[in-house]
Structure 1
Amino acid sequence: MIEVINDDGRQVLEFATTAGRVRGRLVSTPDGDAVASLGIPFARVDERYQPAVRPNEWAGVRDSGQGPIAWQDPGRAAGLSMSERDCLTANVWTPAAPSSSPRPVLVWVHGGAHLYGSNAHPLCDGARLAAAHGLIVVAISYRLGALGYLRLDHFFGADYGDAGNVALRDTLSGVEWVRDEIAAFGGDPSRITLMGQSAGGVAVATLLAESADSAPFQRVIVESATAERVHTLDEAAEVTNELLEELAGPHAAPELLLGSSAAELIAAQERVVDRWKATRRGPGIPFRPVLDHRFVHDIPLHAIAAGAGAHIDAIIGTNRNEASGYIDLLRTGESDAISALQSELVADGHTVTAAEYIEACARDDGVTATAVDALESYVADRLYRKPASRLLDARRNASGTTYGYLFAWQRPDTAGWARRAGHSLELPFVFRHLDDSDAAREELGEAPPMALSATMSASWAAFAATGRIQEVDDPEWPVYESQRATIVFDETTKIVHDPFAERRRLLEVARSTAGMI
């Protein structure tokens, strides 16, 4: 229940949660007013590597303010304080305008390679999205890296059997908190959409694969992620051993993982990450969900193909240039790119040549393809597009609605800017932060298309409200299904069926011919 009070002449809103009252603050945005209730504890870390417990109750009214974030490389923490015990918080943005009925809810799970990030990134602040579309936006946090994904039962027994997936358990706890508490903020617990990007999307896809009829969410949005990025128990044990060696040498006692400071663990973690990054193009992600048969029971893609989460509606997609962070599109030479592309194809077991893949790119895109562009495209295929396509295909028989999308907009000054439609570039469009910060201008240039932001944010909001994507005064977008209908978000948004068909067919035929289906 919302209570409007007068505090020193200012409008203040209070919300009653089961742990105590929360005081939000009124924020004005170009899209209208919203109420920000930040840093609300949804759980508490009572013991390292163990599932979180209920937060402590508090007396009086808790003022809104960003809470501490999960431990990570301090250089990535944006100056925010870090805490093991108190990092599990929710930021809630509600429209200030009254509503006669409960509002749909969008729960945001941030990315960051399972290592970095928080629910406080300014380009993912939910105030504008909430105000513009009348929905409630919640951003939740979770433990990261070696403190969130570390197998320990092979050292310490069954009491630490959950350690490998406490980050996923944190995420689920956050969504359950939203389900149980969001009515106090005016939200509808029967219309909760769980949305994640990159590592956050991996978490969402994994929770989708483990969802039952009683899941605390009804819809998911998976952006630039995979449902295949999990460790086996043996792989997870190897990562734990690597971390221990980086922490204190080859004969280090496992107990150091329990007694070392968070700062020491994170420093060792970063050395492991550097080692992984040196092996191949792409993100070095040694810490990830673990196939522990306790919380994660199968590779998520396999579970989804077998029908897990089939009743849940989904939007799944990627950006066109997901790999532009790993391929220097401005400085890589053509001959070097051809050699690198051929090496990538061979490493993945393909029998096609770099020239054949470059030609497939040209046929798909209708323009002459450079070897550099093709190299970026192939790495994007391997890391993001193909996993997203496999996830979409796995849901072809789902009873829930499934949409596929491709974010394709790039800055017009691409000649001097190599990101193009890069990884995470869609986020300020979804959250409507194209024009309100230096960070947005650095990413998007001086004149990003406001109409595209309006389209994407309205589409995501409509999906959260109804399970359908529909533009005002336009026909409903088609679902993915057998024709691979894909919503391409660009200066002009359109539907393309199977937008990378030539690439897909080339690689599928090559694998089939080589007996590697």
Structure 2
Amino acid sequence: MSKSRYKSCVAVLVVAVLMFTGCSTEQEQSAVPAVVTADPVGTVVAVTGGNIRGTAREDGLHEYLGIPFAAAPVAEKRWQPPHPIESWEGERDATKFGLPCYQPGSLSTFYDGLYVEMSEDCLTLNLWTRAKDASAALPVMVWVHGGALVMGSGGDYDGAPLTAKGVVLVTVNYRLGPFGFLAHPELTEEGGGNSGNQGFQDQIAALQWVRDNVAQFGGDPGNVTIFGESAGSWSMSVLQASPMARGLFHKVIGQSGARFIPLSALSKPRWGIPSGEEWGQRQASVFTGEDESDLATLRALPAKSIMDTFSGDPELLLNFDRLTIVDGAVLPDEVNTIFSEGRQADVPVMIGSNADEATTFDPALGNPGGTIDYVAAHDQFVKLTLPTAGQEIYTLYPASPDVARDSFIRFNTDAMFTQPMRLWANYMENVSSPVYLYWWDWRPLIDGSDQYGSFHAAEIPYVFGNLSIFNIDIGDRDTEFSGKMMTMWTNFAKTSDPSAEGIIDWPAYTEDKPVTAVLGADIGLRNGVRSAEVELITTGYNAMRK
């Protein structure tokens, strides 16, 4: 991974979000968990499907990459729920990452060409462990990558540093874009009444693999924390809401993303949004060039043809808000409704967002040296996001030329990230488990740090200890802060409490005591971060549902 990769990944999200503002996963046959012994964890491990050979490092780390957790979703399996992995003979190589799932090639320049090779046969996961033997029962952390549900890979980050904190780390691939989130009447019939959430079904299948196999690597299948950022954090809220994922995880960490906006429904439109099937048929007609497209025709199309068409159609590429379907199985109802009624998984949650998320979406990034009318941009985004908003919104986010850029950034940040994460925290009042809320206010010293601040996804390298991703000389300041981040995140995975001796005594958040941990140059506690802004945006979102 090149040092410029991190800003490249962020740039993809810039393009997507800026332009946006203009069947069951149960295995068909029961997986057979490997027998857990007290044998040393070695380079060769028996897992569902056969033996894999990973890599042993001198520092005690074992690394296993590109492990298949489901059959290749190709031919007749395209758009079906994940199928059980087929067994293999001998030892399967697990020394390199599996190929990323198909994603927009038109944006590959932002990825420095790292995703030149992609595949439909992409349902793999990666695992890092420092357990000395299979009976170690270390806490397990499972990472789901972000990327608007249309891009990204489980191989984006090196898991070695985080495992030094005493956890087993797993990162996963899942189907993306039109391969992972397509509803269609024939799919609904074929899948027994549900379709459209194939990517989430993949995530659930990966968690089933973890349940059945992680003990062989010294992990505790009874202590699994799922975590993700941006669309990965959207996924966290979906998995917490989904009855199909129940019991596969025991804690949740969500970083800058929650799925509480109105979603597409499978069988009927809601709030002016087409149903999932209507949207899927629209996609299918674009892929085939015909008004109506049957499933056999769609499955006969080359994967590259589908992705090239998807990438070249702005309406398809940028409407990722529709890539979560109320299908009656993965999601029996809107995520918002499930949480408001207390039907989500009752597990401890740690969530938060960054202070300057939307600097990543500054129009100036795509127009270097140009002139940006921030007054118009701010007004346009307010009207698009909260069409029922009155003049009160401009009291908190003024549109005068001297502060319009700041208002644009703050409103984008609060509407897309601060408010959804606060709502998630408030919804945890409906269950008994605690929730811990953070506000990430650290400024990476990259070029233009004064302009970008605590931008979207900036915290990920600190959580993973992957600071070399930044194209800067890493000093003690960032290294020390990253160590604190890893300690808090892994403490939560170990104990359900992110408090860390010498760093922070972090109390749970409640609506009555909205204590937020501010994670910045000065780590501490604060009450009611941007409370007035969150309340106003919440009122606007609720009005849209009536």
Which bin holds the TM-score, normalised by the shorter protein?
0.7 to 0.9
Q: Confirm or deny that 1:314 pairs with 2:362.
A: no
Q: Confirm or deny that 1:59 pairs with 2:104.
A: no
Distance 1:427 1:213, change over 3 A: closer
CA displacement at 1:291 relative to structure 2 = 0.4
Counterpart in the other structure of 1:264: 305
Counterpart in the other structure of 2:251: 219
CA displacement at 1:260 relative to structure 2 = 0.6
> Residue 165 of structure 1: which of 188, 197, 216 is its match?
197
> Residue 338 of structure 2: which of 299, 303, 321 is its match?
303
Distance 1:312 1:251, change over 3 A: same
CA displacement at 1:63 relative to structure 2 = 2.4
Distance 1:156 1:344, change over 3 A: closer
CA displacement at 1:394 relative to structure 2 = 0.7
Mean CA deviation greater in 330-339 or 213-222: 330-339
Q: Confirm or deny that 1:202 pairs with 2:234.
A: yes
Counterpart in the other structure of 2:378: 341
CA displacement at 1:504 relative to structure 2 = 3.0
Counterpart in the other structure of 2:265: 232
Written as runs of structure 1 = structure 2, the 5 A alignment for 1:40-59 is 40-46=67-73, 47-59=77-89
CA displacement at 1:457 relative to structure 2 = 0.8
Letter in 2 for 1:464: A
Counterpart in the other structure of 1:480: 509
CA displacement at 1:413 relative to structure 2 = 6.2
Partners of 2:132 and 2:225 in 1: CA distance: 21
Letter in 2 for 1:422: F
Whether the 8 Å contact between 2:393 and 2:536 is mirrored in structure 1 is no
Letter in 2 for 1:67: G
Partners of 1:287 and 1:45 in 2: CA distance: 25
Counterpart in the other structure of 2:410: 377
Q: What are the Cα deviations for residues 455-476 of structure 1, in whole angstroms up to 9, with x where unaligned?
A: 1111110111111111124563
Distance 1:308 1:125, change over 3 A: farther
Partners of 1:287 and 1:419 in 2: CA distance: 29
Letter in 2 for 1:426: E
- Indicate the SS of the match to 1:92: strand
Q: What are the Cα deviations for residues 264-323 of structure 1, in whole angstroms up to 9, with x where unaligned?
A: 111121133x2367xxxxx64155121011221111122122122352111111112222
Whether the 8 Å contact between 2:516 and 2:525 is mirrored in structure 1 is yes
Partners of 2:540 and 2:336 in 1: CA distance: 23
- Indicate the SS of the match to 2:359: helix
Distance 1:329 1:412, change over 3 A: farther
Distance 1:325 1:415, change over 3 A: closer
Distance 1:396 1:323, change over 3 A: same
Distance 1:189 1:112, change over 3 A: same
Counterpart in the other structure of 1:140: 172
Counterpart in the other structure of 2:9: none
Distance 1:264 1:480, change over 3 A: same
Partners of 2:490 and 2:204 in 1: CA distance: 22
CA displacement at 1:252 relative to structure 2 = 5.1
Mean CA deviation greater in 207-216 or 451-460: 207-216
Whether the 8 Å contact between 1:193 and 1:219 is mirrored in structure 2 is yes
Partners of 2:355 and 2:528 in 1: CA distance: 13
Partners of 2:203 and 2:88 in 1: CA distance: 23
Partners of 1:223 and 1:508 in 2: CA distance: 19
> Residue 253 of structure 1: which of 281, 284, 293 is its match?
293
Letter in 2 for 1:343: Q
- Indicate the SS of the match to 1:395: helix
Q: Confirm or deny that 1:21 pairs with 2:54.
A: no
Mean CA deviation greater in 182-191 or 93-102: 93-102
Partners of 2:139 and 2:116 in 1: CA distance: 30
Whether the 8 Å contact between 1:2 and 1:13 is mirrored in structure 2 is no
Distance 1:245 1:212, change over 3 A: closer
Letter in 1 for 2:339: I
Partners of 1:216 and 1:445 in 2: CA distance: 37
Partners of 2:376 and 2:116 in 1: CA distance: 43
- Indicate the SS of the match to 1:308: coil
Counterpart in the other structure of 1:70: 101
Q: Confirm or deny that 1:125 pairs with 2:158.
A: yes
Whether the 8 Å contact between 1:49 and 1:162 is mirrored in structure 2 is no
Counterpart in the other structure of 1:350: 389
Partners of 2:536 and 2:243 in 1: CA distance: 35
Unaligned runs of 5+ in 1: 6-11, 278-282, 361-368
Distance 1:493 1:194, change over 3 A: same
- Indicate the SS of the match to 1:22: strand
Q: Confirm or deny that 1:460 pairs with 2:489.
A: yes
Letter in 1 for 2:516: T
Letter in 2 for 1:430: V
Whether the 8 Å contact between 1:95 and 1:136 is mirrored in structure 2 is yes
CA displacement at 1:491 relative to structure 2 = 1.6
CA displacement at 1:72 relative to structure 2 = 1.5
Partners of 1:408 and 1:373 in 2: CA distance: 16
Partners of 1:293 and 1:211 in 2: CA distance: 10
> Residue 82 of structure 1: which of 112, 118, 121 is its match?
118
Letter in 2 for 1:199: A
Partners of 1:135 and 1:263 in 2: CA distance: 38
Partners of 2:246 and 2:145 in 1: CA distance: 24
Partners of 1:354 and 1:63 in 2: CA distance: 56
CA displacement at 1:416 relative to structure 2 = 6.5
Distance 1:307 1:358, change over 3 A: closer
Query: TM-score, normalising length from structure 1?
Result: 0.85
Distance 1:481 1:120, change over 3 A: same
CA displacement at 1:427 relative to structure 2 = 0.5
Q: What are the Cα deviations for residues 339-376 of structure 1, in whole angstroms up to 9, with x where unaligned?
A: 3323333441211256512469xxxxxxxx93211111
Unaligned runs of 5+ in 2: 1-36
Counterpart in the other structure of 1:112: 147
CA displacement at 1:250 relative to structure 2 = 5.0
Distance 1:449 1:474, change over 3 A: closer
Whether the 8 Å contact between 1:44 and 1:54 is mirrored in structure 2 is yes
Partners of 2:100 and 2:527 in 1: CA distance: 41
Partners of 1:63 and 1:71 in 2: CA distance: 22
Query: TM-score, normalising length from structure 2?
Result: 0.81
Higher relative contact order (CA 8 A, sep 6+): 2
Q: Confirm or deny that 1:241 pairs with 2:278.
A: no
Counterpart in the other structure of 1:428: 461
Partners of 1:267 and 1:335 in 2: CA distance: 31
CA displacement at 1:499 relative to structure 2 = 1.0
